[in-house]
Structure 1
Amino acid sequence: MMGCPLLLILGVSVLLFGWDASAQSSDSNCPKTFTVGEAKTYQTCNNLQTLGATLAYTYVVENGSLDIAFQAAPAASGGWVAWGINPQGIQMIGTQALIAFQSSNGSTVVGTYNVQSKTAALNPSSISLTVTNKSAVYESSSGKITIFASLVLGSNQTSINQVWQVGSSVTNSTPVIHSTASADLSSLGTLDLQGGTSSVSSGISHQTLKNRHGVLTVVSWGILMPIGIMIARYAKTFKAADPAWFYLHAFCQTSGYIIGVSGWGTGLKLGSYSKGVEQTSHRKIGIALFCFATLQIFALLLRPDKDHKFRIYWNIYHHSVGYAVIILSIINIFKGFDILDPEKKWKNAYIGVLIALGVIAAILEVVTWIIFFQRKSKNSINRVSEMNGNGSTQSHV
């Protein structure tokens, strides 16, 4: 009886503590000194939140000069790396970027790019920032490219919106659009120039919102709803569980629906964060899932009495929609895992939960059928006894 409340606590705990990939990594093993011609050491170095990138820099507040050394590995051999500042906000569109890659002659080149589209080809252009001393080097041993540059910011500027990225290929000296995986869409944040820290925005980050969407969806549609159905199917077989099974069933389904709607809402918010990047099948299944789950809530409100002539039609409607919700939820959760691409332990954990629920359901299925046949046999014997009793009584009349 405590299964659903415990799952709610577990879900909230994971949501708050366990599945947050947006936390800033420490600055251990972050290089501050680089040797390009003459050795140069920077004041601060940060391991950025995604893509294995680092940023070393020295900022002079009096004149607003910023010397940077950005380092990352391209997504594939022959790819590119980029770092930039966005005066408009924490987003890709509007980024004044430096992009570096190896040219066809083997040299490493770096250019300035004004990013104004998520889909159009990127061509070198002037940007709104003054950039000097830009250069780039490729390290064959590590496969990383390092961009060096000096930028002039406004004096007394305390923070900037930074965006970084890596790509897998370059065609005719034009960087090909990067992947839309979770890490690529989350490579942006705020750089505190004086405090020396790199972080996500002050609001909920894109990655954090994705994580919460995933947790809410798994806990609601993926765990609470199946458990609620199992309670309704198996617990009511035991007379001692009546009517407690109904209230547990209603509690799990209602709680699952409320949490699921919260997850659905975060999914809508994610869509507004990622305009131009659509997860079509995941979104369509999510909409269908929400509609079916809403129908189930109405089923609770429209539930007729057991002896009502429409009860059989209500049962068909309630059961078919309920099983449709479970099937769609499991399919969509695994699609979500492919999109979010968390650590394997999370996907494995959910697979473990499904296996455990499946084993429990199989055992209960056998037990309830045994009970059903035992009761049926007992009822048959009782009816025969009653008939024999009536017959013997009549024979003495």
Structure 2
Amino acid sequence: MAFPMRPVAISFLLLLGLLLPSSSAQSCFSETFSQNRLYSTCTSLPELSATLHWTYHSSNGTADVAYRVPQTTSGWAAWALNPTSSGMLGANAIFAFHDSSGVVTSISTILSSDNYSPTIKNESLSFKVYSQEAEFSSGAYTIYATVDLPSNNSKQNMVWQAGTQFQNGLPFGHPTSGGNIASATSLDFTSGQAVASGGGSNSRLHRKNIHGVLNAVSWGVLLPLGIMIARYMKVFKSADPAWFYLHAACQCSGYILGVAGWGLGLKLGSESKGITYHSHRVIGIVLFCLATLQVFALLLRPNKDNKYRIYWNVYHHTVGYSVIILSIINIFKGFDILNPANKWKNTYIAIIATLGGIALFLEVFTWAVVLKRSRSSEKSHHGVNGVNGYGGRQHPTV
């Protein structure tokens, strides 16, 4: 009875790692640079597995920086300071990419404050840049620069980015999901402390991670587990009525956690003006409606001998399995949006595969039990009264 519960404990331990916004960021301390460049401070940025190294010169307000981000040779990377506001608009950026001849190129540009799809061109920035260059090595771009920090202020709004789109041979556009829309922070070059840029980017990311964990554990683990308990435990007469209470406990707790995750998702959606993940949102609403119907169905469940019970069973099973299928689909859509480290997606795949393997084994095993019980009863009672406790050889379902 306890064996099927193990995946829940495993999933809580592994999936809760998503709550750490910087879990996908690589450590910066082991990184080295060409020409034996050394920097006094580094930080693993919370998005895109990027890192920033720098040496701040308080005497003249300049900083030597090295920004590194994983990327392919067909993509581009960018690092920027924004002297006027947080985020992309108005940022003074340095780009790195391979030009048409395959040579790593570095250009600088100011991202127009009134254009969300600015045309990139090589121009001077609003603050002085003493040097800039870029290189590509071991699957990552590195941008080197020495800059005057705007207004001689050690605390700066910083943006970083990576993409694969080009227009006229120059970087153009980037993904509008996952870390690409949260890659901004306010960095103090003196203390090295980073806080959310614009009053809450890290907080929103943290809530997105909570939203993902709640939905993965509730819709994606507890509900399938509850169905397995009902389908397979009720085969054993000694498990009655324990199987029903365990089934109800899994489904109700999964529903409560799922509704909490669903509500948080609606809140996050209302805060993301202009960004809507339509299919993820629609499936989430459908899931909430179907799951709510399932909960209320418990209040309307006819007795076993009621002539309408068969119709209730068909409804209950159809809606229940539909919820599971839609849940798993939407969880993977959520992974694509949140874009966590691959290990979390792989972990969930492993959990679902484990549950599927257990279900397949129990399906064969319980059918064997039912058939053996049926044959034994037929020998003892010559086939009278159905004898298997479930109306003949029919496998009990949820």
TM-score (norm 2): 0.77
Structure-2 residue corresponding to 1:244: 242
Is 1:120 aligned to residue 121 of structure 2? no
Structure-2 residue corresponding to 1:159: 155
Q: Distance in 2 between matches of 1:41 and 1:229?
A: 57
Q: Distance in 2 between matches of 1:364 and 1:206?
A: 46
Match 2:41 to one of 40, 44, 59: 44
Question: In the TM superposition, what whole-angstrom CA distance separates every residue of 1:24-61 from its partner, at most 9, and x where no partner exists?
Answer: 64331345x775xxx97543233433434332333355
Q: Distance in 2 between matches of 1:16 and 1:347?
A: 12
**For the structure 1 residues 299 and 116, does the alpha-carbon distance in structure 2 shift closer, same or farther, using more than 3 Å as the test?**
farther
Q: Distance in 1 between matches of 2:171 and 2:80?
A: 15
Structure-1 residue corresponding to 2:20: 20
**Are 1:14 and 1:215, in contact at CA under 8 Å, matched by a contact in 2?**
no
Match 2:225 to one of 215, 221, 227: 227
**For the structure 1 residues 269 and 367, does the alpha-carbon distance in structure 2 shift closer, same or farther, using more than 3 Å as the test?**
farther
Amino acid at match of 2:313: N
Structure-2 residue corresponding to 1:390: none
Q: Distance in 1 between matches of 2:137 and 2:320?
A: 56
**For the structure 1 residues 268 and 93, does the alpha-carbon distance in structure 2 shift closer, same or farther, using more than 3 Å as the test?**
farther
Following TM superposition, by how much is the alpha carbon of 1:328 offset from its aligned partner in structure 2, in angstroms? Answer: 1.4
Amino acid at match of 1:152: L
Q: Distance in 2 between matches of 1:323 and 1:67?
A: 58
Alignment map for 1:258-337 (pairs within 5 Å): 258-272=256-270, 275-337=273-335
Alignment map for 1:1-397 (pairs within 5 Å): 1-2=1-2, 9-17=9-17, 20=20, 22-23=22-23, 25-31=26-32, 42-61=39-58, 65-72=61-68, 75-77=71-73, 79-86=75-82, 91-93=87-89, 95-101=91-97, 108-114=105-111, 116=113, 120-124=117-121, 130-139=126-135, 141-142=137-138, 144-154=141-151, 157=153, 159-172=155-168, 174-180=170-176, 182-198=178-194, 204-205=202-203, 207-272=205-270, 275-339=273-337, 340=339, 342-344=341-343, 345-367=346-368, 369-370=370-371, 373-374=374-375, 377=378, 381-382=383-384
Question: In the TM superposition, what whole-angstrom CA distance separates every residue of 1:209-237 from its partner, at most 9, and x where no partner exists?
Answer: 44433332222122211221122223223
**For the structure 1 residues 111 and 138, does the alpha-carbon distance in structure 2 shift closer, same or farther, using more than 3 Å as the test?**
closer
**Are 1:261 and 1:290, in contact at CA under 8 Å, matched by a contact in 2?**
yes
Question: In the TM superposition, what whole-angstrom CA distance separates every residue of 1:67-112 from its partner, at most 9, and x where no partner exists?
Answer: 2423335744354321123467764455443334455575734223
Q: Distance in 2 between matches of 1:13 and 1:90?
A: 35
Q: Runs of 5+ in structure 1 lacking a partner?
A: 385-397
Q: Distance in 2 between matches of 1:3 and 1:207?
A: 35
**For the structure 1 residues 271 and 353, does the alpha-carbon distance in structure 2 shift closer, same or farther, using more than 3 Å as the test?**
farther
Amino acid at match of 1:20: L
Q: Distance in 2 between matches of 1:273 and 1:3?
A: 42
Question: In the TM superposition, what whole-angstrom CA distance separates every residue of 1:255-295 from its partner, at most 9, and x where no partner exists?
Answer: 11112222323433443565444433333222222211111
**Are 2:184 and 2:201, in contact at CA under 8 Å, matched by a contact in 1?**
no
**For the structure 1 residues 229 and 273, does the alpha-carbon distance in structure 2 shift closer, same or farther, using more than 3 Å as the test?**
same
Q: Distance in 2 between matches of 1:120 and 1:59?
A: 32
Q: Runs of 5+ in structure 2 lacking a partner?
A: 387-398
Structure-1 residue corresponding to 2:396: none
Following TM superposition, by how much is the alpha carbon of 1:8 offset from its aligned partner in structure 2, in angstroms? Answer: 5.2
Structure-2 residue corresponding to 1:393: none
Following TM superposition, by how much is the alpha carbon of 1:21 offset from its aligned partner in structure 2, in angstroms? Answer: 5.4
Q: Distance in 1 between matches of 2:4 and 2:64?
A: 52
Structure-1 residue corresponding to 2:393: none
Q: Distance in 2 between matches of 1:203 and 1:167?
A: 20
**Are 1:97 and 1:115, in contact at CA under 8 Å, matched by a contact in 2?**
no
Aligned residue-pair number: 377
Higher mean alpha-carbon deviation, 42-51 vs 254-263, is at 42-51
Q: Distance in 2 between matches of 1:67 and 1:195?
A: 13
**Are 2:178 and 2:336, in contact at CA under 8 Å, matched by a contact in 1?**
no
Q: Distance in 2 between matches of 1:342 and 1:254?
A: 30
Name the SS for the 1:195 alignment partner. Answer: coil
**Are 1:74 and 1:80, in contact at CA under 8 Å, matched by a contact in 2?**
no
**Are 1:55 and 1:68, in contact at CA under 8 Å, matched by a contact in 2?**
no
Higher mean alpha-carbon deviation, 244-253 vs 19-28, is at 19-28
Amino acid at match of 1:342: A
Following TM superposition, by how much is the alpha carbon of 1:316 offset from its aligned partner in structure 2, in angstroms? Answer: 2.1
**Are 1:83 and 1:165, in contact at CA under 8 Å, matched by a contact in 2?**
yes
TM-score (norm 1): 0.77
Following TM superposition, by how much is the alpha carbon of 1:324 offset from its aligned partner in structure 2, in angstroms? Answer: 0.9
Following TM superposition, by how much is the alpha carbon of 1:348 offset from its aligned partner in structure 2, in angstroms? Answer: 4.0
User: Alpha carbon RMSD of aligned pairs, Å?
Assistant: 3.8
